Chain A
Amino acid sequence: MLDLLAAGPGQPGFLDLLQGALRPTIALIIGLPLLGFLLNGALSLWRPAAKGAVSVIGAGVLLTTFLVALQLFLQLSAVWHVKPDEVIRVTLWSWIPVGDLRVDFALQLDQLAMVMLLVVTGVGSLIHLFSVGYMKADEGYARYFAYLNLFVMFMLVLVLGASFPMMFIGWEGVGLCSYLLIGFWFSEPANADAGKKAFIVNRIGDFGFLLAMFLIWQATGSLSFAEVFDRAPQVLAAGGAMATAITLFLFLGCAGKSAQIPLYVWLPDAMAGPTPVSALIHAATMVTAGVYLVARTNVLFALAPTSQMVVAGVGALTALFAATIGLRQYDIKKVLAYSTVSQLGYMFLGVGTGAITAGVFHLVTHAFFKALLFLGAGSVIHSMHHAYHATHSHDDAQDMRNMGGLAKYMPVTAVLMGIATLAIAGIPPFAGFFSKDEILAFAFGRGAQQPAFYLFWGMGALAALLTAFYMARLMAMTFFGPNRTGEAERQHLHEAPWIMTGPLLVLGLLSLAGGWLNLPEFFPAIGAPHGVLHHWLEPVLEAGNRVAESVGLAPALSHGATEAFLVGGAILTAVLGLTLGWVVTRRAVAVPAHDAAPETGFWKVLYHKYYVDELYDWCIVRPLVAFSRVVLWKKVDQGVIDGGGVNGAAGLSRALGWIGSRLQSGQVNVYVVLFLVGAIYVLGMVAWR
């Protein structure tokens, strides 16, 4: 490797040499989590009690993968420093060679994939470590880590895939693992239902992804990223129907995976899984796959301004809508779940605006602070659960009405959750401020070209206010005020063990400093130069930006007074939201969940999440089930298909078979006669030709 670098990236054939040299490393990145899955899977079948081995394997493979990724990052940043356009493509084997269609099992690594690789393995490692403490007492410990390792493997395939089908493998694989882990405690029917709901809703999105792939193949004759993005600007008319259809179908896939309106309903229910799973899959990594897909296909989206508008609009609407629901939830994980939906909306607002860097930036910072929030909530739930378990109480360990004053019992968790709250609310210099501000600034900037974006900006800004509000409410209800857990339970509350607080600490640092990854020009360059991520991603986004410029929609930032107004407004909004949330929550009379009065008025609508689940149930699920049962099942399936088709054909086949088997009399002379008949037939055929 070093020899290669010494030889100089400028040499002809350097890329081939480099790809050859990196092939084992990249295979290792996929292979290690897969190995972890196989080993832990075997242990879960034969030695479920060997928790020590499971921990070492489960967390060990992830840490090793992260170290390998880090080393790769160091090597490649040296290469990219000289030649930013080199994309590392490694074909492990030829997967589908059919006529014109040739899909290789190929992985590619560019700057965008590198960011995702580091986030997935880095945050993944921390969450694996946290899980060692959190899941310690669970019977399915080995199974849990097997699934978690498998998830990381598929997530890396998704991120590193060099073609749409490869990405789709990862896409489906993470969906499978999500399903398995949401329903991890499947003996509770509600959990199993939540898993099914996630799977089925995601199917709708996957359908969009598949249709998009078919259209891409039809339009460009290829499915590999390099060729598709190369050919797209030539074969697809900018703003044309084909480009719009492809990107809208892609976005349907994103809406499913990344929980956007109208397919967001599965994510809050997905909180039925273990909390570290919520942190890893349903906050930091898998749900951001949709954002990654839009970023990856930025060339296609740049060709379809209408789709960009849809993406940004849906993102803004989701951000606002989910934030309002988050205002009136009591389950600590549900608040965070709606917060995740809302933050994902921001990311789509960013990538829909064409500000891919801003969207990816928010993806990264969100991975830090939301993972921290979820793990912090996990630490709280862990403690609450122990307390209730000790006294055999059946109260809800996740209901914030049963918490209060926990800062006294778990100070480390409280401080770190506080940092994460400041980060998500958008207080400088914490991570969330920079990324959220950048998204809103770009949305405002595009308003000059398309006024609808002023509206999207307004929705985003309002959502920011609500975000600060519900986070302050969460902190106030959980950590401050009088404790409502119960007299006997109170003494069992305790801080989490170091294996859980350790990862929290690292995430706390990242939530604090993660925003410095892409400091804006107006901010003093503390700790890092300006716009690091922006420069890093430039080579990946170059083609898309060219297209955007040609259609006159290049992402633009405002400067001067407008900029000052935007930044100042954002900070004010965050402070106002936090203050309001704090004051309103602390003023309210806090009572434990079982004493609480039922909700009334608009609060009730919010508490019931606008009755969207009920609406879907009445408008879609029930009619569909009824139609399936009455018409499709009883009439079409049982009557026509089973009665006429299947049973008829089967009966006919059986009858013919029976006749055939009658010929098989066991008499050799019969056999020889038939043989002769056959021989005469064959000889007759050749003779008369």
Chain B
Amino acid sequence: MIAFDPTTPAGTALALLPEVVLSAASLVVLLVVAWKHQGPADSRRAGWLALASLGLTALALVWVAANAPEEPGLGLMVALDGFRYFASALILLVSAGSVLASLGYLERERLVAPEYYVLVLLAVVGLLFMVNAQDLIVLFLGLETMSVAVYVLAGYNRGSTYSAEAGLKYFLIGAFASGFLLYGIALVYGASGTTNIVQIGAQFGEAELSLMAKLGLGMLVIGFGFKVAAVPFHMWAPDVYDGAPTPVAGFMATAVKTAGFIALARVLYTSFQGSVLVWQPIIFALAAASMVLGNLVALAQKSLKRMLAYSSVAHAGYLLCALWPGTPLGMSSLTFYLVGYGVTSIAAFALLGAVGRDGERDVTLGDIAGLAETRPWMAFALSVCMLSLLGFPGTIGFIGKWYILSALVASKFPLLAVLLVLTSLVSAGYYMPVLMAMYMRPSRAPMVFFDRGLAGSARVAVAVGIIAVLALGVWPGPVLQLANHAAESLAQTAGQIVARR
């Protein structure tokens, strides 16, 4: 065991080992595809290389988690806590799932440009920086690195005008939102004199925030609200999910959302823990609006992909509920729910990518009617996903929602809990018809989309996702413990601030 000292330059490099490894690996992959970018075989190779890079990064992450000093002290730009490791691991996991789902998908859609995987890797680098950032500047850099890569990914299908539209829309509104975030950082810096998340917390303390700081806080929340697709900053999400290649939509719904929530949680919990009363009403408003609007509008959707997009907005609402209490229990439920939502959505988007074609824009309930007869395992897997998203007992979605509810109730704020339950009830109105269509309706005579099925690699992603959904649904203990540990380590950092004052 080598313990490193993160205050030295070499130590900093070691603290950033996963990010360094992944950056280097993505450059290597970029080099490889510069030489080999002709046919499907080259694309596949790039995909497997990307997967290997993610694996290598995971190893580096494990090493850092095992060897990082317990109490790194304050003032670092990079966090060395369980919260970061947990989030990074989750991001690597769902990214690997996205890569697996992309392998067969890109070939089927004739999108054989292997740079795709390089962009995914670069986006993941950005995401990792977002979750490890203990400094607003690092956070912003990570966010922009990720955003630029994802803008391109969203518009990756150059043959499709919808995809191009998706990329452009995401870029335009994204730039707008980045402006808010950057302005927020500037105002917070102006009010506190530092960009370090921990030191901001120490600076503000329990005192009443100045107007400048308050506005800065508000703008930060707006900027993150855009990334996680919370109402009313969600308008881009349905159009972008709809137009983007389905694995990219899955990536955005899981990995990007995870990083957004983790970063927002870190900022709120560390920098603004003394001003809970200032940010709780905003979070409440965004959560309530996201849950209500996301679920209601999802009811009116005909296309499955758009339905999943609104469902993702609704889930942003649930996750905001977990953020609201600002307690370790709330943080723990947030991280746990991110796992549940991540594994479920990766499987759901991979399955959606398999039942459609041409970007799945037109896959409706009618198209999956009778799927249980022709493809029983796919129908089963999709059912499990829908039930988990709905929060049905026996799936991880249930445990996750239940955990959020218990955090809300423990914080003596039942209003959000009631809203969460009621809107979840509404969500049955669009999840259950998927099951009904697959199991209770006869299949259409010409089975247009069913000739493809799941590619082998995507099958692995779906199988792992479904097994995780079911296994963690009855035996959440281990992950729950990890989530608790992650939340506690974040609370410890916050506790250090209190001790310093």
Q: Which residues of A contact B (CB under 8 A)?
A: 93-94, 98, 650, 653-654, 656-658, 660-661, 663-664, 666, 668, 670-672, 674-675, 677-679, 681-683, 685-687, 689
Interchain CA distance A663-B294 in the complex, whole Å: 13
- Contact yes or no, A668 B218, CB < 8 A: no
Given A657-B296, A657-B297: A672 and B173 interface contact (C-beta under 8 Å): yes
Closest A residue to B478 by beta carbon equals: A93
- Contact yes or no, B180 A679, CB < 8 A: yes
Given A660-B293, A675-B233: A650 and B221 interface contact (C-beta under 8 Å): no
Across the interface, which residues of A come within 8 angstroms of B429, CB to CB?
650, 653
Q: Which of A660, A675, A681 contacts B297 (CB 8 A)?
A: A660
- CB B213 to nearest CB in A, in angstroms, measures 9
Given A661-B297, A661-B300, A686-B214: A668 and B277 interface contact (C-beta under 8 Å): no
- CB A220 to nearest CB in B, in angstroms, measures 24
- Contact yes or no, B238 A664, CB < 8 A: yes
- Contact yes or no, A685 B299, CB < 8 A: no
- Known A653-B296, A689-B278; 4 more pairs at CB < 8 Å: A661-B300, A672-B172, A678-B222, A687-B215
Interface residues of B in 257-300 (CB under 8 A from A): 277-279, 281-282, 285-286, 293, 296-300
- Contact yes or no, B477 A660, CB < 8 A: no
10 A-B pairs within 8 Å (CB atoms) are namely A654-B299, A658-B300, A671-B169, A672-B176, A675-B173, A677-B232, A679-B222, A682-B282, A687-B211, A687-B214
Interchain CA distance A674-B477 in the complex, whole Å: 42
- CB B297 to nearest CB in A, in angstroms, measures 4
Q: Does B194 contact A (CB under 8 A)?
A: no
Across the interface, which residues of A come within 8 angstroms of B232, CB to CB?
674-675, 677-678, 681
- CB A688 to nearest CB in B, in angstroms, measures 9
Q: Mask for B185-216, Cβ within 8 A of A = 1, else 0?
A: 00000000000000000000000000100110
- Contact yes or no, A671 B477, CB < 8 A: no
Among A98, A658, A678, A687, residue most surrounded by chain B Cβ atoms (within 10 Å): A678
Interchain CA distance A663-B219 in the complex, whole Å: 24
- Contact yes or no, A668 B173, CB < 8 A: yes
Across the interface, which residues of B come within 8 angstroms of A685, CB to CB?
218, 281-282, 285
Query: B-side binding surface: helix, strand, loop or mixed?
Result: helix
Given A657-B298, A683-B218, A689-B214: A666 and B282 interface contact (C-beta under 8 Å): no
Q: Does B217 contact A (CB under 8 A)?
A: yes
Q: Which of A658, A675, A687 contacts B235 (CB 8 A)?
A: A675
Interface residues of B in 359-399 (CB under 8 A from A): none
Q: Does B406 contact A (CB under 8 A)?
A: yes
Across the interface, which residues of A come within 8 angstroms of B48, CB to CB?
none
Across the interface, which residues of B come within 8 angstroms of A663, CB to CB?
235
Query: A-side binding surface: helix, strand, loop or mixed?
Result: helix
Across the interface, which residues of A come within 8 angstroms of B406, CB to CB?
98
Q: Mask for B392-413, Cβ within 8 A of A = 1, else 0?
A: 0000000000000010000000
Given A678-B233, A689-B277: A653 and B218 interface contact (C-beta under 8 Å): no
Interchain CA distance A663-B234 in the complex, whole Å: 12
Q: Mask for B242-267, Cβ within 8 A of A = 1, else 0?
A: 00000000000000000000000000
Given A94-B477, A98-B406, A664-B238: A682 and B296 interface contact (C-beta under 8 Å): no
Across the interface, which residues of B come within 8 angstroms of A661, CB to CB?
297, 300-301
Q: Does B19 contact A (CB under 8 A)?
A: no
Across the interface, which residues of A come within 8 angstroms of B278, CB to CB?
686, 689
Interchain CA distance A258-B298 in the complex, whole Å: 49
Across the interface, which residues of B come within 8 angstroms of A658, CB to CB?
300
Across the interface, which residues of A come within 8 angstroms of B173, CB to CB?
668, 671-672, 675
Interchain CA distance A670-B285 in the complex, whole Å: 21
Interchain CA distance A678-B239 in the complex, whole Å: 19
Interface size grouping (class) on chain B: 35 or more
- CB A659 to nearest CB in B, in angstroms, measures 9
Q: Does B475 contact A (CB under 8 A)?
A: yes
Closest A residue to B216 by beta carbon equals: A686
- CB A584 to nearest CB in B, in angstroms, measures 57
- CB B427 to nearest CB in A, in angstroms, measures 10
- Contact yes or no, B475 A93, CB < 8 A: yes
Q: Does B236 contact A (CB under 8 A)?
A: yes
- Contact yes or no, B298 A686, CB < 8 A: no
Closest B residue to A671 by beta carbon equals: B235
Interchain CA distance A654-B429 in the complex, whole Å: 9
Across the interface, which residues of B come within 8 angstroms of A678, CB to CB?
222, 225, 231-233
A-B pairs, top 5 by smallest CB distance, nearest first, are A678-B232, A657-B300, A671-B235, A660-B297, A686-B218
- CB A348 to nearest CB in B, in angstroms, measures 35
Q: Does B468 contact A (CB under 8 A)?
A: no
- Contact yes or no, B299 A657, CB < 8 A: yes
- CB B229 to nearest CB in A, in angstroms, measures 12
Interchain CA distance A657-B235 in the complex, whole Å: 14
- CB B112 to nearest CB in A, in angstroms, measures 29
Interchain CA distance A661-B286 in the complex, whole Å: 18
Q: Does B141 contact A (CB under 8 A)?
A: no
- Contact yes or no, A668 B172, CB < 8 A: yes
- Contact yes or no, B235 A689, CB < 8 A: no
Interchain CA distance A686-B282 in the complex, whole Å: 8
Interchain CA distance A668-B279 in the complex, whole Å: 28
Closest A residue to B214 by beta carbon equals: A686
- Contact yes or no, A654 B300, CB < 8 A: yes
Across the interface, which residues of A come within 8 angstroms of B217, CB to CB?
686
- Contact yes or no, A664 B296, CB < 8 A: no
Across the interface, which residues of A come within 8 angstroms of B277, CB to CB?
689
Interchain CA distance A675-B475 in the complex, whole Å: 41
Interchain CA distance A672-B172 in the complex, whole Å: 9
- CB A611 to nearest CB in B, in angstroms, measures 40
Interface residues of B in 106-127 (CB under 8 A from A): none
Q: Does B419 contact A (CB under 8 A)?
A: no
Closest B residue to A673 by beta carbon equals: B235
- Contact yes or no, B300 A660, CB < 8 A: yes
Given A654-B300, A657-B296, A687-B211: A664 and B235 interface contact (C-beta under 8 Å): yes
Interchain CA distance A650-B295 in the complex, whole Å: 12
Across the interface, which residues of A come within 8 angstroms of B279, CB to CB?
686
- Contact yes or no, B285 A93, CB < 8 A: no
- CB B287 to nearest CB in A, in angstroms, measures 13
- Contact yes or no, A671 B297, CB < 8 A: no
